[in-house]
Amino acid sequence: MLSSNNYAYIFSMNAQLFLFRSRVLLISTIFLIASCDKGGEDPRPLSCPESDALNFTESDGLVIVEFEAVPDRSAIGDWDFRNDFAAYEGEGFLYWAGEDHFSQPGNSTLGYEIEISNPGTYRFIYSGYIALGESTTESNDLWLRFADASDFYGFRENDDSYVYPKGTDKSPNPEGASRDGWLKVYMNQLNEWTYTAKTSDNDAHDIYVEFDNPGTYLMEISGRSEGFAIDRAVIYKEEGNFADLGNRAKRKEAFEVLDGSDATCP
Ligand SMILES: [Ca+2]
Output the average pLDDT for the chain: 82
**Distance in angstroms (rounded) separating the CA atoms of residues 231 and 131:** 12
The residue ranking higher by pLDDT, 156 or 41, is 156
pTM as predicted: 0.78
Pair (121, 242) in one structural domain: yes
Least confident of 3-7, 70-74, 75-79, 222-226: 3-7
Pair (63, 29) in one structural domain: no
| CATH number, domain with residue 227 | 2.60.120.260
Distance 95 CA to ligand 1 centre (A): 11
Output the CA angle 204-160-199, nearest 5 degrees: 20
The residue ranking higher by pLDDT, 34 or 99, is 99
Q: How many CB atoms lie within 10 A of CB 123?
A: 17
Q: Residue 31 sits in which domain range?
A: 1-43
Distance 231 CA to ligand 1 centre (A): 4
Distance 22 CA to ligand 1 centre (A): 43
Distance 254 CA to ligand 1 centre (A): 18
Distance 221 CA to ligand 1 centre (A): 15
| DSSP 8-state secondary structure symbol assigned to residue 252 | H
Pair (185, 225) in one structural domain: yes
Q: Are 19 and 230 in contact (CB under 8 A)?
A: no
